[in-house]
Amino acid sequence: MLFDFVLLDKLRAARHIAIFSGAGMSAESGIPTFREAHTGLWAKYRPEDLATPDAFLRDPATVWNWYAWRRDFVRQARPNPGHLAVARLESLVPKVTVITQNVDGLHQRAGSGNVIELHGSILETRCFDCGQPAEDAALAAAAPVQGETPPRCGHCGGLLRPGVVWFGESLPSAAWNRASDVLDDADVFFCIGTSSLVEPAASLPRYARSCGRTVIQINPEATSHDEIAQYILRGKAGEVMPELLAAAWPRA
């Protein structure tokens, strides 16, 4: 792929690069997107039937088991070349911040050290009632009572739930505030593998452009972000990002 020389110069001159990633990046590692995950045994459910607080209260066992099924995909997945290229940026630019809609932890496993998880993590668990996080060891020790699923909180006895943001819930304020602060400081804003459908996260690229940042869209397909991006690189992150880094820093 040929890249614009001005774009390459902007990358080399950047002091702070923000990476905004979505489900398309995880899909390259074999993790089904949210709606693709409703196949096989789960085909009869709508996503909204399994990803809301009301759904959990109505049928906590089914919701818990669905997320356990999804968690297996995440644990088996490996970071793809796109994740690795993003992590490598940290050795090329003074500061890199990853803002992700994904809940799989693949950016951290690839080596990225500054990751903001807007929608939480499927690898974490917290109490539905008191909000207290459950450590892995505590979760393993929280054996279901008489076959009860999900397990109970060790602090208050409430039901444990996945540590993700469900429909109808607000984004964690600390993560959202950190993401907003990043856009006030970053020179370049990458938008990678996101469909631009889920708000309020989808508003971040528009905000970045309004702040005068250089916005770069990487996606195999067109999205509404194409309208505000100065540079549109059509392709998968695992293909485009390594090539882009090699073009910008050929001797690195």
Q: Residue 65: which CATH number?
A: 3.30.1600.10
Q: How far is CA 81 from the centre of its chain?
A: 16
Cross-strand bridge partners of residue 163: 121
Instruction: Please identify, among 164, 184, 219, the residue that sits at the C-terminal boundary of a domain.
Output: 164
Do residue 22 and residue 68 come from a single domain? no
Do residue 56 and residue 135 come from a single domain? yes
Q: Is residue 83 flagged as an active site residue?
A: no
Residues 141, 74, 49, 120, CA torsion sign = positive
Q: What would the pLDDT profile of 63-115 be if each residue is shown by its tens digit?
A: 999 898 888 889 999 999 999 999 999 999 999 999 999 999 999 999 999 99
Do residue 189 and residue 231 come from a single domain? yes
Q: Which residues contact 89 (CB under 8 A, 6 or more apart)?
A: 17, 19, 96, 245
**DSSP character at residue 130:** T
Backbone φ, ψ for residue 126 (5° rounding): -140, 165
Q: Can you give the CATH number for the domain in which 109 is found?
A: 3.40.50.1220
Q: Which domain holds residue 50?
A: 35-76+128-164
Element (H, E) at 82: helix 81-88
213 sits in the region (left: phi over 0; alpha: psi -120 to 50; else beta) called beta
- The catalytic position among 83, 119, 155, 225 is 119
Q: Which residues contact 161 (CB under 8 A, 6 or more apart)?
A: 56, 60, 63, 64, 125, 126, 127, 128, 150
Q: What would the pLDDT profile of 34-53 be if each residue is shown by its tens digit?
A: 666 555 555 677 777 789 99
Residue 238: the pLDDT is 97
Do residue 141 and residue 245 come from a single domain? no
Do residue 251 and residue 148 come from a single domain? no
The total of structural domains in the chain comes to 2
Do residue 160 and residue 177 come from a single domain? no
Mean pLDDT by 10 residues, the chain (252 residues): 94 98 93 65 71 93 90 92 98 98 97 97 94 69 58 90 93 94 94 82 87 94 91 97 97 82
As a whole number of Å, the CA-based R_g of the chain is: 19
Q: Which of helix, strand or coil describes residue 142?
A: coil
Do residue 110 and residue 231 come from a single domain? yes
Backbone φ, ψ for residue 127 (5° rounding): -80, 135
Of 11, 24, 23, nearest in space to 186 by CA: 11
